[in-house]
Every structure is written in C-alpha cells, then in structure tokens.
Amino acid sequence: MRADRIVILDWDTMAFHRDELNARRFASLAAHVDIYPQTKPEETAEHIGDADVVICNKVLITKEVLDACPNVKYIGILATGYNNVDTAAAAARGIPVCNAGSYSTDAVAQLVFAYIFDYFQRVALYAMEVRLGGWEKSPTFSYFPYPTGELRGKTLGIIGYGNIGKQVAKIADAFGMSVLIATRTLPENCPYPVVTAEEVFRRADVLTLHCPLTEQTQGLICKRSLALMKESAILINTSRGGTVVEQDLADALNHDMLAAAYLDVLEKEPMSADTPLKNAKNCTITPHIGWTPLDTRKRLLDITEDNLRGWLGGNPQHVVNGVTAAQTE
C-alpha cells in the first residue's frame, strides 16, 4: 500500500544544511511528496491540502486545521514531543499520531553531561584564561583561580524517568553520583530511590528535567520549587521550556538563590530578545541542540519512515493517541 500524497511541512527544522539529509527518501511510499522548508500557521491548511499523510516537527496541527483538511489519515511527528498536535481531535477522526520515540536518548543525555562537566570542570573557562595569558603570569606551576569539583558523591535529581532519564541516571551512576528519581508513574525495578519532587528539589546538587510538558509539569520550576533548592545547586532543562517560569528562574539566579542554570529549551523558540533569562547571572543557554547530532537526526528519519511503513501495512507504530489499526481502515 502507498499513500496518495505525503506533505512534509517544516523540513528546514531537520536539515540546517540542505544536503545533510534527503527528504526524498519518502518518495517510494507515496504517489506524490511535497516538501516545504517551513510552514507558517496561516499556511498550514493550504500546504496540507488533500494530503492523506502529514509529517511535521513543530507545525501546529489544530482541530481547525484537521477540519479544513478532511483527507488526512496519518500524522507523523519528527520528534518525541507531540504537544503541537491536537491528538484528541485526531483520535476522534481515526487519525493515528505517531512520534519517534527514543531516537534522541543518547544525544540528550550526552548534552546533559556536557553541561555538568562545563560547570564542575570549567574547561572552556580555563582554556580562555590560558589564551589570555593568565597561566603565563602564574607564580606557581598550576593556575586554578576558579573552583572545580568531582562528580562522585554529588546528588543528581532527575524529574521524569523515561528513556532519557534512565540513560542520564546510568551515566551518573558510572561517575559515582547519588541518583534520586521523581516520576509520576512508579517505575518497576528502579535501582535508584524514587522520592517526591519536593525531596528532589531539596536534596539535588544537580537537578535535571526529563519530563513531558503537561498540565502538571507546566511551570514546575517556579518561585516555590526554586526556594526549596540549595543555593549551590544547578538546574538543567533539556525537556520543554514551558516547565520553567522564566522570570522566576532569572530572579533566583540574579539573587544567588541558585548557582547556575543550563537550558537547551525555552518557552518561546526561537528565543525572544526580551526573555528574562538572556542576561541572567550564571545562565547558559544553547539553541535547542540536544537532538541535533547528525547520527541522531538520521535515526529520527529512519524511525519516522518505519512508522509510516507500519501504518501503510496496517500496523501503526509509536501511536501516541490510542488509534488502533482497525480504526484507521
């Protein structure tokens, strides 16, 4: 079985350089494939048109869009998160929404520890000091004006214990860190203590977020939770920007209530020029790069293609809105 028409709505989010990846790999799965570099909200229904398969990363697929595009039968997400799609509206129409699952587990866990090493080892800061001549002026053989620290014995608090949270915990364990887990669903056979979020806030030397953005996690990091944390703690967010109240975090950093924050996601992306975190003290922001290693994006495309092949064969994979194969017939 082949699709009639596949539309990819925001290919530029997948390939910053046009020759990195090939979107035409989907050509064997449909009579027609249309690829848009980007799609503005007002263009979404027009770009989808009569397509039966929609593939996108961050384009909003609302109930109104689905109402305007009655031929849509399948939505593939080029991501793990799927909060850009009205999954209930899709389910009501028998449209499966399929995400890419755990494609970025290793890459995001790697970024988390890049942040941790940056804070505790200060490699970039010391390299800059050497470049500026600081070591040349040192009266002793070793020049260490900035404090560094060992990971062993530090407490890593993880909120969210999905694939990424598990991988981060595994790496932390290898470095001799004490791991605490807070998660909405009690995991089976978890080798680490599972505690409340409040206890994680109080005890963590490093707090890292790996939870989806839901009504329960919206604004999770706020004045109340930040007040529970150690002044020496650092916060890492590679999940979703909406889990953090940005003004509250900026205030905590600027008033030395928290030692540092490392953020790969913000509530508004691309970053707004007036975000209070832009110039916040000891705040390091990267532009949502956790998922972007080329190896990772290739894996993402492989999963997305496999998901579509599964649906075309009557066996949808990684369905996030509960639509069964029988409902899609």
Which residues are known to be catalytic? 240, 269, 288
DSSP code, position 221 = B
Per-residue burial over 121-145, b if 16 or more Cβ lie within 10 Å, else e, is ebeeebeebeeeeeeeeeeeeeeee
Non-local (6+) Cβ contacts of 216 within 8 A are 184
Round to whole Å and give the CA distance between 117 and 114.
Answer: 5
Amino acid at 186: L
Residue positions counted in the chain: 329
Tokens found for residue 303: 């999963």
Q: Which of 269, 168, 258, 151 has its CA nearest to residue 211? A: 168
Tokens found for residue 250: 């900026």
3-state class (DSSP) for residue 43: helix
DSSP code, position 184 = S
Tokens found for residue 230: 């150690």
Contact between residue 4 and residue 32 where contact means Cβ atoms under 8 Å apart:
yes
Q: How many helices (H) and strands (E) does the chain have?
A: 11, 11
Round to whole Å and give the CA distance between 65 and 77.
Answer: 16
Non-local (6+) Cβ contacts of 233 within 8 A are 204, 205, 206, 207, 258, 259
Non-local (6+) Cβ contacts of 125 within 8 A are 146
- Cis upstream peptide for 193 (omega within 30°): no
Tokens found for residue 171: 């790496």
Run of H or E residues at 203:
helix 197-203
